[in-house]
Chains A and B, each alone.
Chain A
């Protein structure tokens, strides 16, 4: 068919409002996805960059050896920012006392992410600064001031150099996490290090090269340096170096993605409804075209062209609307999200466009393609029922399209399969429920008044449509209710990961003789649970008789994340697994003596290719120990409790001298306790993770807000489906009510029965939704969070009320015109 004719028909359809629904549905799909994905994209980038402050950089190369200058040069050639740090333990001296500290010497640009905080008196919050100690100056941790009996302006001796105390260091971004970075901090300029003469061969040194810049440049640098890095340098990103934050980010990502998915599926339903309606309203057009000589092929290509034009227009508008929507989300949330959102990439726009076209193809194509099969006989026999698209075909298309989008978004067949199964399950259950409600309603309706009887009869007559509508409304309302229910559970669960009084200080290097007095002190002064972990440093030398290096080169993927097998690490032994460890394979040794066995953390095991039965040889302070892998564990890293990649059975390390580690909770205003502790046990190392925990909690709460927002968007697209499906049934309702009016029914009766119809639909949908929400919440609570379950009585009032109000409102607005227009006009419009 000629393009001009097609465009003319398209324009007329548009003006007559025939296309509004279809275009709106596509626009909503595209806009929702674009908005979500723009927002998620930027939020993720922001969260990631905020998390980067825990590294003080985007990536870090670290080593116990000097980092070659070529690394820095190569990084700077790629436009990356760099900074250097050198960390080492050292004794420092004041006039009267001395103290073991962790010295960090930094270059001028440090830190590349986050900032230092300083003040002129100890134990306050301090203010941000973007400088580092000047040459000849040092900044000290608060608790070094009482420990060394010093004040600002005094001189402290590091090695052989005398340095002036210029500031109190109250916070540094990359403080948390590392268990090797021990003791209170002394921050100095890196150029002063040679003068101290403390850096000798054999000192425990940690060199770090901090990098900041574009992800691509960073990846490029990594691959260029790959060979060099393998020679004892560690490449760190935030995900590897701080698993707890990595986990929080991963969870956020899946939640947001699933939210987006639901929105698209809902919009897909709206597209399908709208396209079917559009096609039905074109049956007569097609029949006329065919009598005038249009071939089925003409018809098909004509309508495909129309669909293509609709697609291009709707997708473009959708992208614009989505971008606008996302801007207003950002605007609204600006005060909640004290995050600098980076500029978005192009990917969200691609995601939006592809989604729009896939939606059209999957949901709109079957009824449109079917137009070619309309019989020209329709022109002489209007009553000729066209069979419509075969349901199997429609579902197959919709199923394939959804599958495609699901896989594309989640990048996971597993998640896709479960989402589909979930949706299908809900559809089937809801369908059955809706049918029962309609049946039951009719029985009750027999005794009811005028309006209700009319309404129930109408719903019953359009049984299939009514069930579909209850199903769709029910789904949308259910999402809203689940949002209410789960939001609370979700946030609580995240909060519970780090309970309010979770240990936030770790003590290490406790020698056995100190255990008694130390526990006494802790029990009397702080929140102490009394869990002690023996700790022994050691490394793996061989696996199944193969040297560790050889084992790794054969079995470990060079890019595999996580720590390397052969590097030195903290080992421990225990008789009981702590709460945040779960055995996933093998068996746990009991209290009794057993052959030396080890239990390995699952990710560590899989990246190092260790499995049950492997025999691993260790070198522990010169003593060799051999043990069999007897179990694998999953560790909840975000619990912030002491955890070990490798745990030994109790008897295995009996003869090896161990130090102990423990943890306790100390509120922020009692930090001075550390002074008492350290003056009594000067050799004990304190690690403060309170700041890290606070930071993780702030990230979690932001992520929670983002999840809430996305769910709200999903609900919004659910509302659109409501409108679409009310629109889809409008013609039939119009016809019926016009007929009633022609037969003498008053406007009041019509309005009343129409309102009753929507009210019933709303209430039924609300009931279905409430049941669905309760079941889902039950499953989540009992199966996932393992909490006892209680019904929510308020939900049973809220669900149906919400359905009633929502659908009555949308329904009456959508059909306002039909009640007010004279019956003839309505009949003629439909003819």
Chain B
């Protein structure tokens, strides 16, 4: 337990000590929030009668968690280049625990990023239903974060090159984001988008966050929670498998 804890703590320290990273990773969600919120807002409001900010904010929070957690994988490549990875790879601790500690640390950081985006969006007028709904949202942010940190870690375990990692991740997360219902509702979209978004784990995350914060649901909260937990276990196992195969 203690070993998982120290590796978790290490990720937090590294994040906390890198203020630039902290701020830079907030820029993108903010940009989306402002551009889409004020750009599409009026059209959406006229078309559906709902408030677009209410619709958009949970999606942008999911996005910010998705981006920061997937990019956590770069820490593995970073550690490999700085040589620290070997130190953990020869330690008398199962690779699964090492991977779990790192992943939970990265996921905590990503969840925290999502929470900051939530606070920022409250400045532009977003109001979650209640305190309980915020707590429930944090739970779902954490699930999303675990899934995608594990995914990023799995991919990074296979690569030595940071640029390759960045390319692959960009290629991967854009479709995940656009086909998740974060920006537009999944009702009444063409069939192939419905199909693609239903196999996209992030869709359930977006749905759960939106449900928790505003009460609007597409799939259902319990269903979302079950799907997300299942995917989290699956991705953690895959990540742990690839991580255990790393050679130095």
Chain B binds chain A: no
